[in-house]
Amino acid sequence: MSNKQTKVSYALSILVVSRSAENMSRLMSTLEQSEITVPYEVLCSWNGTDEDADQIETPENQIFSLHVQRPYNFARNNNYIAAMAKGEFILFINDDLVPDNGAIAKALSAIKQHSVGIVGINLRYADDRLQHAGVFFHDDGKPYHRFKHKIKWNDPLVAQDMFVPSVTGAFIMMRRSEFNQFRFDEHFRVCGEDIALCLTYRENFPREILYVAGATAVHFENVTRKKFGETKTPDEDMARILTYSKRSFKDNRPIIEVRRPKIRIVTEKPGWIMHRKAEEIAKYMGTVKINEDLPGADIHYYINYGYFNRRPASGIVVANFTHYDPEHLADKFVSVAKEVDHCIAVSEETANILIGFGIPRSKVTVILVGADRSFQPKLTVGIVGRVYPGGRKGDDIVRELMADAELMERVQIVAAKDGWGAPVWSLPDVADFYRAIDFLLVPSRLEGGPVPFMEALACGTMAIAPEIGVVPEFPHVSYPVGNVQKLRETLMQLAAEHVRQRSFLTAKMQGLDWEGWAMKHDRLFRSLVLERG
């Protein structure tokens, strides 16, 4: 076990409370392999045995110090090593956490933003279920993790950064200077210190708490606590949590309510894309008025710059810039950019045009619009032919498949003609239909051909078909005749492969949806308001 000291100035102090040499060694190895490019130190508050402490393995070049402190108390142990930390930022991290590569670097990037005071990240169980994506509160003040156990960690529901009331103590990053002004409450017996820290922070500082979706880690939650029978929140700890969650800000708003600036948006009429942009911000933030007066507005946002005519009496003025057209509103593009307090460009190209006109880079933020979440890969299976009485063609099979909600989330079934109960794609030539689908589906129980099977092959389209007629003589994806369950399993497997093949492209759109558009505005508006003071 190394125990090195240095006079290096640290950007980050990583603080760990541990009593497991196995957990501590694994964490140290993970940190060594992660993308932390700034100088950092690791301080461990140790409450295990001396014998186990000697078993901790640390990489040769890591700055690591171990401080024995018994008995275990999460708050007291963390406060003790935080007092010795030298980093500008501190990270409280559980020893049973395994950060994915880049997670800590992404958290560091987020905490450096002026509007962000505490950062938490996306945590998952070993079976890929979500463990943490922000802590929220019921009406009675009791905390809960949103979607915990209910969805996978990479579900679109938690794919966006989000300002939240609190985060879990398994991963909390913040400024050391701010933590030192109040520290962890040491009166909790088992848990609740993290909730108290977050709510106390929000009560005393104008910055908010940010859940960073792109920073991820595996959390072997409660593995150590289970050994000591400490898996539930004691009644006295819950009672103490409630003393925090039932507090209010000075303006009487609940402490568990995320604060948002008041936004007035001026844009075009409903039914057009710029109004849709405004609607999405309003839906996300809840403190927005569109094309209405809003006394005391913190931000006046013009979507786009053409709607700006004169500066309001108060508030920060922001304008959205799409493209520069020398033949249309060219002079106004430049004059508005110089007049407003901040410019939002829809692309890097537009940002560079603004900068070319003398607008400072610090006054320009690029926010991409992206695509609605409904735009995502989906396996398209097509049916060609007519339905005959008696069920020989398998129209009952198609109806059963289409009634399966889970399957229909991943697969769409379309038909070239009416009669199947599926949406009809009317194309000029049936060959265009074959070329447009991913697979031809043959649901028949008995066939002499089938002719559509041969036509699809001629167009280069594979068929999902049972061993009937000429099918066994040609390439195809097979399933047992009339077996809906096996057909369903086959479709689900093909759908998963379909998504995997397109993951390179879809990954480029991660976070680029309407919620992401609104979230980036929320973050920028907060920063502008805080900078203005």
User: Residue 6: its pLDDT value, please?
Assistant: 47
In this structure, the strands spanning 162-164 and 208-219 are antiparallel
User: Residue 8: its pLDDT value, please?
Assistant: 61
Q: Which residue ranges form the domains of the chain, and what is each CATH number?
A: 12-245 (3.90.550.10), 263-370 (3.40.50.2000), 379-501 (3.40.50.2000)
Residue 500's CB is within 10 A of a number of other CB atoms, namely 10
Report the sign of the C-alpha dihedral through residues 459, 465, 470, 476, in that order: positive
Task: Pull the structure tokens for residue 40.
Answer: 């950092």
Strands in 439-441's sheet, in edge-to-edge order, are 411-415, 379-383, 439-441, 463-465, 477-478
**Contact (Cβ atoms closer than 8 angstroms) between residue 17 and residue 172:** no
Tens of pLDDT along the chain (533 residues)? 444 444 567 999 999 999 999 999 999 999 988 888 899 999 999 998 999 999 999 988 889 999 998 888 899 999 999 999 999 999 999 999 999 999 999 999 999 988 899 999 999 999 999 999 999 999 999 999 999 999 999 888 898 899 999 999 999 999 999 999 999 999 998 889 999 999 999 999 999 999 999 999 999 875 544 454 455 788 999 999 999 999 999 888 899 999 889 999 999 999 999 999 999 999 999 899 999 999 999 999 999 999 999 999 999 999 999 999 999 999 999 999 999 999 999 999 999 999 999 999 999 999 998 888 888 899 999 999 988 887 889 999 999 999 999 999 999 999 999 999 999 999 999 999 999 999 999 999 988 889 999 999 999 999 999 999 999 999 999 999 999 999 999 999 999 999 999 988 888 887 788 988 999 999 999 999 988 87
Over its C-alpha atoms, the chain yields an Rg (Å, rounded) of 29
Q: Locate tokens 């045009």: which residue?
A: 353
Distance CA 437, CA 39 (A): 53
What pTM was estimated for this model as a whole?
0.78
**Contact (Cβ atoms closer than 8 angstroms) between residue 69 and residue 77:** yes
Closest CA to 276 of 267, 289, 285: 267
